[in-house]
Amino acid sequence: MTDYVRGNSLTGLTTLARVTMTFPAHDLWSDGVASGTIKPAQLVEPAGASAGISGNSEAAGKFRKVAGAPASGATGKKRYAVAMRPVEVTPSSNGEDGPIEVVNQDILNGEYLRRVYDGVVMVTNASASAYTVGDMVTWDGGGTPGDTDTASQGCWKVTTDPLVAFGEVVSYRPLGASTGADGCLLEFRIL
């Protein structure tokens, strides 16, 4: 009789979604389009000269990746959102791209994007550092995620500054070394 092995060993992040909602958001919008290329799980903000927002709508309807750290809380937390693909489509007919590969594709300039303003999300593009439940996290638009050598892609990292904190760590699972050098699953509650 073969022993039953429970669960699967995670050895990398390529087969996982870049971002997943783990607790439903109440403030979720899919009415904007990407200004430039945006990767799922990046932080986005209204783009262009008309970047002042009222509620959650943006006059031009375009959103771009945040290039640096988020501005202080004085500009309003509702300015920033986590980007997702708007529709999680079925696998392609050619059999090459499964559902995860499709939802992980870049959101190209002019394509619709989903913006998550609250709730709990799980991301795989975190910095190569250890996290503790309760840590505050912020977006580093020029940072390098622990699971890739692509510089300036942007990543989520720990902060002690409450004015730029975007979320609070709910759970953390490193892959490889205990510091997440091979990437990690980082789950945080949007503040």
Average pLDDT, the chain: 77
Write down the pTM of the prediction. 0.80
Eight-class DSSP state of 6: P
Closest CA to 156 of 49, 43, 18: 43
Q: How far is CA 174 from CA 5, 12, 186, in A?
A: 21, 10, 8
For the chain, 191 residues long, the average pLDDT of each consecutive 10-residue run is: 51 76 81 91 79 46 85 60 78 65 87 91 84 92 73 84 89 71 83 85
What pLDDT is recorded for position 122?
92
Domain spans of the chain? 19-190
pLDDT in tens, 29-45: 888 899 999 999 999 99
